């Protein structure tokens, strides 16, 4: 691999630290009137890279960063047909949590929360991770049983997660209607204090900036149109800007991942569904935790600016369209008002949609494939933003070492043939 940094540099952390933002720099720029330096620079497209990552969302950018920072592999290109963060990574509702249902999932997402804990310091960029607690409401006995199950799996792995009753819920979220006389009364909730929200643009830009600082090339408006495979191994990619030779291609294209898989001759068990979200005008801060109701197909959090961010489950059809629909808004409004009738006068500001790459078991697909040099980091459905750091770290290790790290081994593509599914639907269908 070209351009590998010295092991001493990597150990000392010198290589991985981009320039710091500081109060002094802010003052200096304010007084001088000079424009801020660009966060990263466009680079010429090289004819050859050691690793080509397709997709400039959080997964592609994080994998590129950890390849350079942890393994000294910086002759890496991230190619995106659009702009960095233009896919799901810039459209999500930015909820982070690790209270999943399977031991494999809990272990995996917990590592991501740990990485998010220090991400601002690691990247030298404030990603504004706000641990405000996460409540998944149960409106019937079956949901309550699943919450207890999740709480026990979580606790066994040391995750702070427990089932609480309506009185405690009311203390955490006073505006929730916890009365018994409503159509879907709240019987209890899974409470996960470390859950919260992050600023998704900052995460994308922080990884992009740090990766570029280490020598990674970020190519926007660069669409992959074909992948060259011969003798069972990857030789390169074709793009709208020319061909690139490379022995390693990583598919980080989420909603478009089956199209890229087809180019390499790798069939993925994924279907693409639109997912919509919406945000209101800002109102005075009144909601601290993130609230999720699987039964009502809705979740809500409040931003620091006071807007309420709402989401739901995916649209009920496969599509590559990212248009919002009135059906979504009407359904969402009705469900939100069942939870918090006091919001009836608050106005929606905008709505949007992104694409979600759903797998049959609601778990991702990660690691090598039968085509040598073609790796996948896909199947992120409605829940993949929180997994950006751990996926980037693990995929970088997988590529650099040639071995699949234990933490992503359960998510191998081969599990679908072997029948070893990692069923996360109970923890991932609505609560992202």
In whole angstroms, the minimum distance from the beta carbon of 27 to ligand FAD comes to: 35
Least distance to ligand FAD, CB of residue 35, Å = 27
Least CB distance to ligand FAD at residue 268 (A): 13
Rule CB under 6 A: which residues touch ligand FAD? Answer: 54-60, 79-82, 86-89, 91-95, 223-224, 252-256, 260, 275, 277, 311, 354, 356, 380, 382-386, 432
283 burial type by CB count under 10 A (0-12 exposed, 13-18 middle, 19+ buried):
middle
- The rounded radius of gyration (Å) of the Cα atoms in the chain is 22
Q: Which one, 82 or 325, has the nearer CB to ligand FAD?
A: 82
Q: Which is nearer to ligand FAD, 18 or 85 (CB)?
A: 85
Between 300 and 343, CB nearer to ligand FAD: 300
| Cα distances (angstroms) measured from residue 185 to each of 64, 134, 139, 203, 426 | 46, 19, 6, 37, 20
Question: Cβ(309)–Cβ(332) under 8 Å?
Answer: no
C-beta separation of 392 from 62 below 8 A? yes
DSSP output for 303-321: -TTS-EEEE-SPPSS--S-
Q: Whole-number minimum distance, CB 66 to ligand FAD, in Å?
A: 14
Nearest Cα to 236, choosing from 247, 224, 225? 247
Q: How far is the CB of 378 from ligand FAD (least distance, A)?
A: 7
Work out how close the CB of 363 gets to ligand FAD at its nearest, in angstroms, rounded to a whole number: 12
Please identify, using beta-carbon distances, which residue of 169 and 332 lies nearer to ligand FAD.
332
Determine the residue with CB nearest ligand FAD: 57
- Phi–psi pair at 102, nearest 5 degrees: -95, 150
Between residues 255 and 373, which has the closer beta carbon with respect to ligand FAD? 255
The smaller minimum CB distance to ligand FAD, of residues 187 and 190, is found at 190
Would you state the structure tokens that stand for residue 285, as one six-digit string?
Answer: 């801060």
């Amino acid at each position: 691999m070209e351009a590998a940094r010295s092991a001493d540099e990597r150990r000392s952390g010198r290589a991985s630290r981009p320039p710091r933002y500081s109060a002094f720099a802010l003052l200096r720029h304010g007084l001088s009137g000079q424009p801020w330096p660009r966060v990263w620079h466009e680079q010429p497209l090289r004819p050859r890279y050691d690793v080509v990552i397709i997709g400039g969302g959080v997964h592609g950018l994080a994998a590129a960063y950890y390849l350079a920072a942890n393994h000294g592999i910086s002759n890496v290109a991230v190619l995106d047909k659009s702009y960095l963060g233009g896919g799901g990574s810039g459209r999500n509702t930015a909820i982070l949590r690790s209270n999943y249902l399977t031991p494999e999932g809990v272990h995996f997402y917990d590592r991501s929360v740990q990485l998010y804990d220090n991400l601002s310091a690691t990247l030298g960029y404030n990603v504004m991770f706000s641990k405000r607690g996460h409540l998944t409401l149960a409106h019937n006995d079956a949901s309550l049983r699943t919450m207890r199950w999740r709480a026990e799996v979580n606790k066994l792995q040391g995750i702070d997660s427990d089932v609480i009753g309506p009185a405690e819920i009311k203390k955490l979220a006073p505006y929730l209607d916890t009365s018994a006389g409503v159509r879907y009364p709240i019987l209890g909730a899974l409470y996960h204090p470390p859950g919260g929200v992050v600023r998704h643009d900052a995460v994308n830009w922080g990884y992009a900036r740090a990766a570029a600082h280490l020598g990674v090339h970020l190519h926007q408006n660069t669409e992959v149109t074909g992948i060259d495979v011969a003798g069972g191994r990857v030789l390169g990619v074709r793009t709208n800007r020319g061909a690139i030779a490379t022995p390693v291609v990583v598919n980080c294209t989420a909603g478009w991942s089956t199209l890229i898989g087809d180019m390499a001759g790798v069939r993925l068990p994924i279907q693409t569904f639109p997912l919509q979200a919406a945000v209101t005008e800002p109102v005075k801060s009144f909601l601290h935790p993130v609230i999720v109701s699987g039964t009502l197909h809705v979740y809500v959090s409040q931003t620091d600016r006071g807007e309420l961010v709402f989401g739901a489950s995916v649209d009920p059809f496969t599509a590559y369209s990212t248009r919002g629909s009135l059906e979504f808004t009407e359904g969402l409004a009705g469900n939100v008002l069942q939870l918090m009738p006091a919001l009836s006068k608050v106005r929606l500001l905008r709505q949007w949609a992104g694409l979600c790459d759903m797998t049959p078991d609601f778990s991702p697909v990660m690691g090598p494939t039968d085509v040598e040099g073609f790796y996948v980091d896909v199947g992120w459905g409605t829940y993949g933003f929180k997994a950006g750091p751990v996926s980037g770290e693990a995929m970088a290790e997988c590529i650099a070492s040639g071995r699949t790290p234990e933490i992503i081994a359960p998510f191998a593509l081969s599990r679908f043939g072997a029948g070893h599914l990692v069923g996360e639907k109970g923890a991932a269908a609505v609560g992202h």
